[in-house]
Amino acid sequence: MRIFFASLLLVWFSLPVLANPVTTDNARATLISDQQTIKAGDEFHLGLEMVLRKHWHTYWVNPGDAGLATEIQWELPIGLSAGPIKWPTPKAIFLGQLVNYGYEDTTLYPIAFTAGPDFATEGPFQIKGFATWLVCEDICIPEQAELILTLNTTNTDEIAANAKRIEQALDGLPKPVSAAQITAGFTATSAAIQFHFSGPLVNGSKISKQALRFFPFDTGAVKHAALQSPSFGENGFTLWTKPGFRTRRGTLEAVGGVLVIGTGKSAQAWQVEAQAGLVPTGTGATTNPADQPAPTSTGLGGLLTALIFAFLGGVLLNLMPCVFPVLSMKVMSFVSAAHSEAAIIRKHGILFLIGVLVSFLALGGLFLALKAGGQQIGWGFQLQYPPFVAAISVLFFVLGLNLLGVFHMGSRLMGVGGSLADKGGNAGAFFTGVLAVVVASPCTAPAMGWALGFTLSQSAAVSMLVFLALGLGFAAPFTLLSIQPRLLKFLPKPGPWMGRFHQLMAFPMFAAAVWLVWVLAGLSGVMAVAALLSAFILIGFAFWAWKGQRFSKAAGVIAAGLALLVIANGISAQGDRKLEPQVWSSALVTQYQSEGKTIFVDFTADWCVTCQFNKRTALASKSVAAAFAQEDVQFLVADWTRRDDEIATELARHGRAGVPLYLVYRPEQAKPQILPQLLTPQIVKSAVTKGR
């Protein structure tokens, strides 16, 4: 029996170096060494090798917008000490508006070990490492493994191969550099941060044609998802991006990180430290890349193509439903002027064209200014602002009342281009063009998409040319009719029928006002809609009262003022609404179920990138907050940032190993509805309102 156990012990200590790889649902973790026999005074490396499922990833020391870096806790013999993980070069992993820094597929993390003079182990010994990591795809799952590596054994079969793999991993690490090789500094304001790099390693002509990215070690140094745009000088380059919360506070005197040039196997990576306020000469630091023309599609052919597409898109924009209410006013003016003097018709057509062009140029200038300032906006951006939507909705309602004959204030309404449409006035022609552009801006016609995409990649001058072409196309049909007034002779002569047609045109105005009320509902919720509809009543009363005597006029003014207050209060009240979470517990869910409440449970964690994406998009929507308030939904949050056995048990009960998980409990259903991992406001609203 003693011989049997002795043989068994010999076999155990003769196991290969690849001892005890641990396989989880999403990864395989293995501990390897580049040296088999260890004695006092030796310095050697272990390697933690992680092999992930396809499309899953783990995290760098700075995980980016969300995530958790891999950690190892060691249990070592006396005299043996371990250094920190030596992090391989990370990659940027994108998820919508968020960016993480990490690794996919297979990664080997080297760790330096030292056997001190008090290391006296001569026979076989074990190194134990307790590794924890976060692995994410659509969901994030924290995993762990206890890894055991036996050294000082007689088996050396795989040492050479393992030593080579660790050597390759060490060679692939970001290289530390001296200031003589790369001089790095940064300058920052509350709106932007610039990293400046100069020196022999970064001033080659090929750098301008390669991908560039700086990965800071400090998670608060930059806004990770922001574009890093380069500008080049004779000695190096500058990367322009947005500052993180620590940079905005001005608390960083230096920002260390990894500078990566190129992609794939040919990429070069250096570990650098940028000093605050240091701006090396010749780095292009004074040239903001946002002010430079884009390097692609800037030739004459690309510009002509964009101008043609923009012009055609502008023409087709006249056919979009959202433009019809305002253009109906222009139709009325043409009917009225059909048999007038040709010179007057031409003048009005030119003024309409000027109004359109001025508006398109103003809209384009504002659009580009906001983009340059870092705003993430798109075409029709102004309809994302509740005050603007409410104002335009009121304007259409007022124009509709005017067309129905509720009031007529002549020249006093010239500034909005309303009642002048049927008078054919010069100001009316101009402001009808202005109003048409304001209303047309949320619509996108065929051929516009490519032209607008081209616009946002060019210089300001080229971009404004494209906006000008859009305006020319939009105004072209009416301008051509005014230049050739003979075509208008085919329209019927003015007569009593025009009064009825005049009133008929009020209903497209009311339809546009209703559409804008619907837009406001999505932005600010039902209370804002109720406020706007109440304002319509007050406005209607104000115009009706204005026709009366002095007391009646005063009542009208008061009603108009109340309408403004009601709108402002309704929008501001909803604009500040946020979901108010409660801490999840199974007991609280049971309590609310017994009360017949609808319950929304968010299983989340700070390190879960999908959770953070949903939190900043769908769950931050004002329309979702309004739906929760309307349905009296109880919002519970189960925070798994720090591992919680009760939450883990609940996740497993619903067939999940990680977060996010979204559950909706409704009184009429025995089991909760499980929502998708990636949410939209519509998915959430549909779930809590039973699809209404």
Give me 268's structure tokens: 């070069």
Q: Tell me, what's the pLDDT at 331? A: 60
The DSSP code sequence of 177-244 is --TTT-EEEEEE-SS-EEEEEESTTT--GGGGGS-EEEEESSTTSB-TTS--EEEE-SSEEEEEE-B-
Cα distance between residue 460 and residue 369, in whole Å: 9
Cα distance between residue 468 and residue 270, in whole Å: 46
DSSP-derived 3-state class of residue 91: strand
Q: What are the tens digits of pLDDT across the range 539-558?
A: 888 888 877 666 677 777 78
More confident residue, 505 or 669: 669
How buried is 406 (Cβ within 10 angstroms: 0-12 exposed, 13-18 middle, 19+ buried)? middle
Give me 33's structure tokens: 């060494």
First to last CA, the chain: 76
DSSP-derived 3-state class of residue 265: helix
Q: Tell me, what's the pLDDT at 425? A: 59
More confident residue, 340 or 272: 272
Asked if residue 2 has pLDDT above 70, the reply is: no
More confident residue, 593 or 577: 593
DSSP-derived 3-state class of residue 13: helix
The DSSP 8-state label assigned to residue 603 in this structure reads E
- The residue extents of the domains of the chain are 14-158, 183-291, 300-375+383-389+407-502, 582-688
Pairing, β 22-23 against β 71-75: unpaired
Cα distance between residue 525 and residue 437, in whole Å: 26
Lowest mean pLDDT segment, chosen from 217-221, 298-302, 685-689: 298-302
Give me 189's structure tokens: 């304001």
Task: Judge contact between 469 and 356, C-beta under 8 A.
Answer: no
Amino acid letter at 223? K
Cα distance between residue 196 and residue 187, in whole Å: 8
Overall fold of domain 183-291 = Immunoglobulin-like (2.60.40)
Q: Tell me, what's the pLDDT at 545? A: 81
DSSP-derived 3-state class of residue 389: helix
DSSP-derived 3-state class of residue 406: coil
More confident residue, 444 or 417: 444
Q: Which residues pair with 64 in a beta bridge?
A: 100
Q: Tell me, what's the pLDDT at 370? A: 61
Q: What are the tens digits of pLDDT across the range 247-304?
A: 877 778 899 999 999 888 788 999 999 999 899 988 887 666 554 443 334 445 567 7
Q: Which residues contact 42 (CB under 8 A, 6 or more apart)?
A: 35, 114, 115
Task: Judge contact between 641 and 648, C-beta under 8 A.
Answer: no
Amino acid letter at 362? A
Task: Judge contact between 455 and 378, C-beta under 8 A.
Answer: no
The owner of tokens 């959430």 is: 684
More confident residue, 5 or 166: 166
Task: Judge contact between 599 and 589, C-beta under 8 A.
Answer: yes
The DSSP 8-state label assigned to residue 659 in this structure reads B
Q: What are the tens digits of pLDDT across the range 479-501?
A: 877 777 666 565 566 666 666 77
More confident residue, 18 or 333: 333
Asked if residue 688 has pLDDT above 80, the reply is: yes
Task: Judge contact between 679 and 685, C-beta under 8 A.
Answer: no
Closest CA to 274 of 318, 221, 224: 221
Task: Judge contact between 149 and 32, C-beta under 8 A.
Answer: yes
Cα distance between residue 232 and residue 284, in whole Å: 5
Task: Judge contact between 345 and 333, C-beta under 8 A.
Answer: no
Q: Which residues pair with 112 in a beta bridge?
A: 45
Helices 526-546 & 622-631 angle (0-180, nearest 10)? 90
Mean pLDDT of 54-80: 94
Q: Which residues contact 591 (CB under 8 A, 6 or more apart)?
A: none
Mean pLDDT of 419-424: 41
Mean pLDDT of 34-56: 94
Lowest mean pLDDT segment, chosen from 198-212, 375-389, 613-627: 375-389
Instruction: Establish whether domains 183-291 and 582-688 are of one fold.
Output: no
More confident residue, 189 or 166: 166
H/E stretch holding 313 reads helix 300-317
Q: What are the tens digits of pLDDT across the range 169-216?
A: 999 999 999 989 999 999 988 778 999 999 999 987 678 778 899 999
Pick the CATH number of 14-158 from 3.40.50.970, 2.60.40.10, 3.40.50.300, 3.10.180.10: 2.60.40.10
Give the confidence band of 332 by pLDDT, cuts at 50, 70, 90.
low
Asked if residue 407 has pLDDT above 50, the reply is: yes
Give the confidence band of 447 by pLDDT, cuts at 50, 70, 90.
low
How buried is 127 (Cβ within 10 angstroms: 0-12 exposed, 13-18 middle, 19+ buried)? buried
Architecture of domain 582-688: 3-Layer(aba) Sandwich (3.40)
Q: Tell me, what's the pLDDT at 295? A: 37
Mean pLDDT of 218-242: 90
Closest CA to 633 of 598, 588, 662, 601: 598
Give me 427's structure tokens: 């100001």
Q: Tell me, what's the pLDDT at 411? A: 34
Amino acid letter at 115? A
| Candidate ranges 244-253, 321-330, 449-458; pick with highest mean pLDDT | 244-253
DSSP-derived 3-state class of residue 287: coil
Q: Tell me, what's the pLDDT at 183? A: 95
Q: How far is CA 296 from CA 1, 128, 380, 571, 599, in A?
A: 79, 54, 26, 43, 51
How buried is 244 (Cβ within 10 angstroms: 0-12 exposed, 13-18 middle, 19+ buried)? buried
Share of the chain above pLDDT 90, in %: 35
CB atoms within 10 A of CB 465: 18
